[in-house]
Structure 1
Amino acid sequence: MVTITYRNANINLDEQVYDPAEDSYLLADVAIDNAKKGMKVLEVGAGTGFVSAVLQENVDVDLIATEISPIAATCARSSGVEVIRADMFNCFKPGPMFDLILFNPPYLPTSEDEKVPGWLNYAFDGGADGRDSVNRFIDEVPGHLTRNGIVLILISSLTGIEQVKERMEACGFEVDTCGSDNCFFEELIVVKGTFLAQKLDPAKTRS
């Protein structure tokens, strides 16, 4: 394993797990800006645990993470992140448990011949339009947020920013953009949603 340091946090890396890149650093910085002491925080799909490790090193939060890959989960635990091996929220009963939920999803549009073998594919494969995991997250996350709870989702300009925002609004979120970074062929954006529990629009969430 190789260890890197960012904002006083030491994070262990594994060659079989997606390394932190511009998206990870951006989400970690925005998470620190939005987290408050004592918040109950969940990171979905923690990967190496980079974002969670950096956040809990800089803000006194009550944090737990989920991760589907057993290799990534072990890697994140080695950096001091409490991880449950799970597929998004399937280890939790519905209920207002978290004040802040973070998600750096597989957001790149991916065709069948672009898939990679093994667990690493979960870090990249966003489906044909890049929104397979994003849409599922948006639909399921309201059941786990406190009122006025916050979600921070890292997406790419290739993913369809307006479509993501519209789906979040249909699920009861007040939506804003709170961080961005231009890199290579895309713009990375952190979309912030504040859960207001307004009346949902089923037609939009099914689209």
Structure 2
Amino acid sequence: MAPISYRNAFVSIENDVYEPAEDSFLLADVAIDRISDGMKVLEMGVGSGFVSAVVAANKNVEPTGCDINPDALECAYKNGIQVFRSNLFGGLTKKAYFDVILFNPPYLPTSEEEKLEGWLNYAFDGGVEGRDIIATFFAEVSDYLKPGGSVLLFISSLTGRREVFDIMEREGFSAYVVAETRSFFEKLMVIECKHNC
């Protein structure tokens, strides 16, 4: 596959790794706007490293990425991102505090019959309602944010905007949509979330 060029970044994609699409571009654009030079940034579910690579190409930051998919980690590393393997925060051996955590989670409602074979399933499968991974993430993420730090979360209207906001509010976060666009049969949006410490 030919490398993807976007906003000063050049990213190669490997087989069995999620190919950047409208969701990736929207999150990358918002990240550039919201991240300042010198911030400590983590991309959860880094995939190919596309979003982190775009951030690094436009800001003086060195994002760290994690993913459960070993193929994705290899791809992101080849694209210049420092990575470690982790199922959400399970791979962090101690509390690490970040200014911004980026997350384009697996958000598609997925039945047992719709699951994909192999590692790529982890990029799409959000559970029956599409919110399983999001709920687990928000139960843990506040322990890894600096005071005043934020989460930039991508979701789709398929995930259930009100239900996602309910999850965040239950975990003590204030949230608002900072960007949205339409794509075929869904609305794509990025939400900025801050913990009410």
Specify the TM-score bucket, using the shorter chain as the normaliser.
Answer: over 0.9
Matches of 1:113 and 1:134 in 2, distance apart? 21
* 8 Å contact kept, 1:97–1:146: yes
Matches of 1:44 and 1:130 in 2, distance apart? 17
Matches of 2:93 and 2:181 in 1, distance apart? 35
Report the number of matched residues. Answer: 197
Report Cα offsets for 1:96-137 as digits up to 9, x if no partner: 610100000110100110001000000110100000111111
Report Cα offsets for 1:15-45 as digits up to 9, x if no partner: 2211000000000000111001111000000
* 8 Å contact kept, 1:94–1:144: no
* 8 Å contact kept, 1:96–1:147: no
Matches of 2:27 and 2:159 in 1, distance apart? 16
User: What is the one-letter code of the residue matched to 1:8?
Assistant: N
* 8 Å contact kept, 2:64–2:81: yes
SS in 1 for 2:143: helix
**Regions of 4+ moved over 3 Å:** 93-96
* 8 Å contact kept, 1:95–1:145: no
Structure 1 portions without partners, runs of 5+: 198-207
SS in 1 for 2:42: strand
User: What is the one-letter code of the residue matched to 1:154?
Assistant: F
In structure 1, the residue matched to 2:52 is 52
SS in 1 for 2:72: helix
* 8 Å contact kept, 1:147–1:196: no
In structure 2, the residue matched to 1:38 is 38
Check if 1:100 corresponds to 2:100.
yes
Q: Percent identity?
A: 50
Matches of 1:36 and 1:166 in 2, distance apart? 29
Task: Compute the displacement of 1:159 (Å).
Answer: 0.5
* 8 Å contact kept, 1:109–1:128: yes
Task: Compute the displacement of 1:195 (Å).
Answer: 1.9
In structure 1, the residue matched to 2:85 is 85
SS in 2 for 1:118: coil
User: What is the one-letter code of the residue matched to 2:65?
Assistant: A
Matches of 1:64 and 1:114 in 2, distance apart? 31
In the superposition, the TM-score normalised over structure 1's length comes to: 0.92
* 8 Å contact kept, 2:86–2:92: no
Quote the RMSD (CA, aligned, Å).
1.1
Task: Compute the displacement of 1:3 (Å).
Answer: 1.1
User: What is the one-letter code of the residue matched to 2:181?
Assistant: D
In structure 2, the residue matched to 1:204 is none
Q: Mapping of 1:1-207 within 5 angstroms?
A: 1-93=1-93, 95=95, 97-197=97-197
User: What is the one-letter code of the residue matched to 2:39?
Assistant: M
